[in-house]
Chains A and B, each alone.
Chain A
Amino acid sequence: MATIETSSPAALPAAPPARPSEPLSVRRFAGLLSILGGLALWELVSRFLVANSLFLAAPTQIIAAIYSLAKSGELWPHIWISTVEFVLGYVIASVLGILVGMAMAESEVAKKALQPWISGLYATPTIALAPLFILWLGIGIWSKVLVVIFLVLFPVAINTEAGLRTTSPRLIEMLRSFGATPRQIFFKLSLPSATPFILTGLKLGIGRGLIGVVVAELFGSRAGLGRLISQSADAFNMPELFAGVVILAVAGIAMTAGFSRLERRLVPWTRD
């Protein structure tokens, strides 16, 4: 009878249906096994099939290269410079992107004026402008920061705008019925309901920002992981080239994973 009272603690999201043909042990370790298998295959190919460190480096050689680069101290300035470039560009682009997105959501004029530029530049491979930025700003960090800004700004702005625009009219009405001011509606409703979208934009920005740093450094730089990669390529030092790539990949994976954790904490209502 009292159907309302039956639902008690947190309804947990249902697990995907189990497939009896796939034993639990296999399902649990499929991802891990795939990675280990891939690495083993890579190791074998580079040791026996290619067997030439001018063309390919084995995982073990890459790890050894990272170790020796770290030990000699050569690695740290590269990581530091790339980190500074990424963080500066990413933070500036995030703040600007969120502000631009807010302006576009709030004002029809701002939207009409900015939309073509935002959409156009988002679709343009602006990374190709890196040589131009280096010409303007020199081969120091600021040309790279500018590239990162160009790559991160637009997805953040577009997602912020979309998030603010999808604010539920029913919820706006609810707040209005309590006499809420437009300012209260923005801070108590629009902003929190746009947060999942903004986080998605910021997450997209991580990968794009990393690409920006590396490619801009390839075009011309004194230090950075991109510099390490181009140096190693010039010297046909494949283990060190791959060392740079692997460090970038790990950074990208770690940041994206960190972001997903942050999402689960900040916007738990979007889960199920």
Chain B
Amino acid sequence: MSEAAKLSIKALSKRFGDLEVLRDINAGIAHGEFISLVGPSGCGKTTLLRIVAGLEAASAGEVLLDGRAVRGPGGDRGFVFQSDNLLPWRSVFDNAMIGPEVAGRAGPAEKSRTRDLLKLVGLEGFEDYFPRQLSGGMRQRVNLARALAIDPQILLMDEPFSALDAQTREIMQTELLRIWEKGRKTVLFVTHQIDEAVFLSDRVLVLARRPGRIQETVSIALPRPRTLAVKRTAEFVAYVDRIWRLIEDDVRASVIEEHA
């Protein structure tokens, strides 16, 4: 796995002034793998994702995508944001086209590809709608289509379903798996929901806090394709329970800190 890694993170650390946010992170992600990062708030999982995206610089260490060091944002990585970040004056279609447009590649081929992607995420017929006319779940579908429209090597997802209500979130999780099964992009997914991470991932990287570091890597051996029914199986519950035990003390500490 590690020699053919799509993405490798090597001896990466990050400080904000005196605060050590990430310490010596090492990880390799194989092509087509679905990896989640979970951990209590303040464990630096979002910072790690932003460093991979090139939105933030590492203090030490490096990130390699297909063997090349990441320096700044690029079209080989598609970022799906926590809040949908759609441009309110653009239609669904024009929002999804922003990536190719910025790259100066908004030709007919990209347009028809984007149309297909919107169909794939379940937005066929909504191409000319504006963000204000869409529900939260639909906006996140646009967010996802927008990231896929640049045909990235890896998809970086930052708690994309955290603002949705519980039922919508479950629907979106199965939708994401359905879409992922179609193209099998490499995915790095940040979440604080353990069950979400277990349901979606091949492997879950469990982070500890202060400083953020990888505490354990849990391989999820649940068969694919997965449906929501898997969440009620004993194996699933056992995985969630195991990961919860790993971070429980940290979560308690972070909750106390936040309320202090």
Interface of A with B (CB < 8 Å)? 1-4, 6-7, 9-11, 170-171, 173-180, 184, 188-189, 192-193, 195, 267-269, 272
Give the complex CA separation of A170 and B138 in angstroms: 19
Are A188 and B102 touching (Cβ within 8 A)? yes
Interface of B with A (CB < 8 Å)? 53-55, 72-75, 77, 79, 81, 83, 85, 87-89, 98-99, 101-103, 129-138, 150, 165, 167-168, 171-172
A177-B55, A179-B103 known; A2 and B73 CB under 8 Å?
Answer: no
Are A180 and B102 touching (Cβ within 8 A)? yes
Q: Which of B53, B89, B136 contacts A177 (CB 8 A)?
A: B53
Are B171 and A179 touching (Cβ within 8 A)? no
Nearest-neighbour CB distance to chain B for A252, whole angstroms, equals: 29
Give the complex CA separation of A188 and B86 in angstroms: 12
A11-B132, A184-B102 known; A178 and B75 CB under 8 Å?
Answer: yes
Are B138 and A176 touching (Cβ within 8 A)? no
Q: B98 — which chain A residues lie within 8 A by C-beta?
A: 175, 178, 188
Q: B130 — which chain A residues lie within 8 A by C-beta?
A: 268-269
Give the complex CA separation of A11 and B102 in angstroms: 30
Are B81 and A3 touching (Cβ within 8 A)? no
Chain A CB within 10 A, most for which of B72, B88, B171: B88
Q: B102 — which chain A residues lie within 8 A by C-beta?
A: 175, 178-180, 184, 188
26 CB contacts below 8 A, A to B, read A4-B168, A6-B135, A7-B133, A7-B134, A7-B135, A9-B133, A10-B129, A10-B133, A11-B133, A170-B81, A170-B85, A173-B81, A173-B85, A175-B98, A176-B55, A176-B73, A177-B54, A177-B73, A177-B77, A178-B75, A178-B150, A179-B75, A179-B103, A188-B101, A192-B89, A269-B130
Known pairs A1-B167, A3-B135 / 9 extra A-B pairs, C-beta < 8 Å: A2-B171, A3-B137, A3-B165, A4-B138, A170-B85, A177-B54, A178-B99, A195-B89, A272-B132
Are B89 and A4 touching (Cβ within 8 A)? no
Are A3 and B55 touching (Cβ within 8 A)? no
Q: B79 — which chain A residues lie within 8 A by C-beta?
A: 174, 177
Nearest-neighbour CB distance to chain A for B127, whole angstroms, equals: 14
Q: B150 — which chain A residues lie within 8 A by C-beta?
A: 178
Give the complex CA separation of A9 and B129 in angstroms: 8
Give the complex CA separation of A189 and B88 in angstroms: 10
Q: B73 — which chain A residues lie within 8 A by C-beta?
A: 176-179
Are A170 and B87 touching (Cβ within 8 A)? no
Give the complex CA separation of A6 and B72 in angstroms: 39
Q: A268 — which chain B residues lie within 8 A by C-beta?
A: 89, 130
Give the complex CA separation of A264 and B172 in angstroms: 34
Q: Which of A3, A175, A192 contacts B167 (CB 8 A)?
A: A3
Q: Which 3 A-B pairs have the closest CB atoms?
A: A4-B137, A269-B88, A174-B85
Are A178 and B103 touching (Cβ within 8 A)? yes
Residue in A closest to B166 when the chains form the complex, CB atoms = A3
Give the complex CA separation of A252 and B89 in angstroms: 29
Chain B CB within 10 A, most for which of A175, A177, A179, A268: A177
Nearest-neighbour CB distance to chain B for A216, whole angstroms, equals: 38
